[in-house]
Structures are given as structure tokens and as C-alpha cells.
A and B are shown apart, each in its own frame.
Chain A
């Protein structure tokens, strides 16, 4: 079953002489439960694509369908609720709320939804992320890797249908990296989540079901294994 379809997506920054085509006519379709790795040189448009898929940026042209819904046709409120429930986004740079502690940052999507926190789900995630003894800490009291793990926790807490991760292991050592990827894979299998991961790490890319290679804002290669 197709969960994600992108048609003729383009993103242009600036205009005229200095215009940068970050995305240039990208079309793509992803099946439910797929684990996709996106690779490519720096500046090739990977993050831009991911942001547009996650509903936090707007394309210059083209459409994004998630579960058959054209998400950029939704109004602000509906789009926000969609993000909250359907998407887990892990940024290249961790984006935590400085006044909230680790636990609150992780459960933020639930809090915004005024939903009860599933305690077992929370402790499962915290256990895997190894943040058990840091729950009450504020982001400024955490190391870079710990902050990254909190933002992963936040993306997974809600069991979103779509998990989008932008270099989730960029700041981590190899042991930690392996654990994080295992966590993402586990979640992907267990809840039949669709997982898109941007990575520069060959090992991680090779674990995926499908590798999409980008260059100059276009899809250069799309290998299914």
C-alpha cells in the first residue's frame, strides 16, 4: 500500500540570477512500512526534501500526498494536528524546548494533543535511548548526543505513521549509532512505520530496504534491495 507520493516537487530559493533550485522536479512513491535511506553529497537537497515531506516547509511547486491526502492543501490547524499525530521528525540539529525537561520534551506531541502519556511506551523508549537517569534534566544540561536522543524519543513517542530522520546519528559514536538505528528499525517493524533516514553512513544505508541517491536537487538513483 502506498503511504507517500510526491509529484513534480520543486523548491527554489531566491529568484532570478541568484535562484537556487534546492529541489528540481522530484517525484517519488513510498510503500507503507518501507525503510528508505536517502544519500547524496552535501547541498544536494536531502534536508529540503525531508522538511517538505514532514509538512514543516512549503514546496515551490508540486504535491505531497500522505495516505492519499494532499497535505499542503490543509489549513494551518489541520496541518499542525497532522504533524503532531502522523509525523515524527528528527532534525539534523536537535531542536528541543529549553524550558522543558527531558521527559516533557519527549512527550511534547502528546501534551499538545492533551492525550495521556502511555507509561510503558515512554519507559520503553527511555530505556532504549538510555536517558533513564536524565528525565528531569533541561536540554542545556545534556551533551550533544543526549540531546539528539531526546529528539529521537520525541519523534517516536506517538507511534507516527511516518518517521523522518535527518542524520540522526551524526553526533554519535558507533555503538550509540547502532543502537539508535536498531531502535528505529524495531519501531519500523513493530508498528509497521514508514521510515526515511538521511545519512552519510554507508553502513546505515545498507541496512535499508531502499536507497535513494540525490544530486543537485534531483533523484539520481533509486535502488530497491
Chain B
């Protein structure tokens, strides 16, 4: 037989695709109906996954904002009787450990209250003193201006990063105008606002400043008893570094002082904090998908029965069983993929809706944009459902005798 050459895969693919497309075009109405179902399912799934991803992200962000990114090792020292102690020795040991273990990101942390002069009067403001690295370690989000830079350490007028209420009390000035506030106390100083944090952490003003500036502005007695330090290390190293630091620091401090070294980021607490959310989201998504697939299978089974004669004709013209199988499958996939695109579009519209975002934000952070992963997941789910839903009809389409099909 002269020309019974195997068809090239490309020709087979193009051919199947064009058959499937013609089929979809001809059965516009029924395809449209079934696709509305698929699009709705995909929209639901993608929305759920998208919203889930956003919630997940905000949960993770708030965790990181509190405990630092994985793996953050916290060091704190305190005296058993509450007396103050000289932390200089501890600091020296820490500094050498940072060099030896090549810890790239680390920060000291002190906290206290400073009196700030606002237009409406002076107010005590919760203040956290940190090093520049804190911003990276806690993934601090900035709404206006920027986080501290190394050059801010040597500023004459110390730099401040404040929260939204603080900024609002100042009348929300443009940070490009270098707005300043007066910090009162025994050594009053003028500080420059360089950044406003994005976090929504309540109505009370608070601020962050670099360690050296804080030591100038605050009364030494107010932080003498504190000694807190954080190091950000690759998670695999966390255990070893924690153990070593613990031993070295304990040896370096005077007796009567306890040093605690432990991981404090959320990932250290074993269980995935958003596990339940993930499971709930997954269950709902799976259910919706399953129902969508069921509807599709039903519709395509019915239409395959109607099309048996047509399939028989195709086979009389040389369509192999495999080819018929693939073409029927392809119809389903072509159609659901198209519905998937629509569904994802709807989901984006839902998730990006300002009202929904407002409900979701829960005061945590500025919401990220629609997760690409969710969109891809929606498309993949639609295609997979199409393939699964096409499977049964495709099997039905090759399971009958060509003769019977054409006779009928």
C-alpha cells in the first residue's frame, strides 16, 4: 500500500485540533451551555484559590512581621532577680559569633516610650529601636518613603519610620519635604520621618528608629535591663547555630544572668499555621470541580451517542480509533480551556473587587495583586477537567463497530 505512511505528530495534532474546533463551532449552543457551567466552576475555584493565596500571604506576612522570616533566632538575656546588668560582654560575644558564623542579617532590639511633640500636644509614643537589617528580616512593608538605609546611621537628625496613625497626627505630610518632629526629654532632638509603614496596627502612633539614635534620645535607665537580639540564618543551619550561640553566650555572661536562644519564626512551630485554611480551600475547590466535571461528562456522553454515525464516517475515511479518541477528548479540552480563560477572568474581577479586598485585608497589610499561581491553577484545572470529562465519551466513541455506526 503506497501511501499508508504514518501521519506526522504535528499533522495529527493540527488535524485533531481543527476537527475539535469544527465540532465546538457546530454545537455552539450545547457547548455554550456546558461551558457556562465550567466557567462558573473555574471562576469559583480560581477565586477560592486566589482568595486563599491572599489570605495565606497576609497570614504569613503578619507572622513574619511578628516573629521574623524563617529561620529567625532570637536571643534574650535577663537577670533572675530583675536587676539590670551590663550587656556589653554579651554584645562582644554576639558580634564575634556573627562574624564567625557569617550571619548576614542581624539586629538588636530595644523598646521604650519617647515623648513626641505633635501639633495637638506632646504624646508618649511606643518606640522600637532596631538595626537596618530588621526591615529585611521582618519584611517590613513601607507605604510612603523608605526603610532605613546604612547612611541613616550617621545622620545628625535621626531618621524615623512611623506607622500610619503617627503620620496622620502630623497631617500626613509629603515625605519628600523631609518632615520633622521634636522628640522631647533630657536631650531633646529633632528627627526626620523617612518612611511610613504600610501595616495597619491599630490607632496608636508608634515609631521605629535606629539603635544609636535611640540611645541618644532615650534615658539609659529605661532600657538598661533589656537585651534582645535577632539573627536570620538559613533554616538548615538554624539548629546548629542556636545550639552554639546558646553555649557560647551562657559562658560569657556573669552569673545570675540567663540567656535564652531559640527560633521564633512561625515555621519553627512545627505545624503549618495555615494548614486548616489550605485544607478547607482545597476541599471546596475539589467539590466544585467534581460537580463541573460530572455535568460535562453527562453532556458529552449524550452527544457522542448522537454522533456515532459521524464518527463512523470519519473512520471509513481512515481515522484511526486513537485519532477518534483524541479528537473527542480534544473537543472537551478545547472547550473547557476556553471556559477556563473566562472563569479566570471572572475570578480576577471578583478577587480584585475593592469590597472583597476590604473584607479580606483584616488590617494586616496592603493586599498583593491577584496571584498568578491561582490563575494558572484555574486554567490547569479547567483543562484537566476537560480531559477527564472527555475520557468517558472518547472511550464510548471508539467502542462501537464502524459498520453499525454507518448503517444506523
Question: Are A and B a genuine interacting pair, yes or no?
Answer: no
Which residues of B are at the interface with A, using a C-beta cutoff of 8 A?
Answer: none
A residues touching B (Cβ–Cβ < 8 Å)?
none
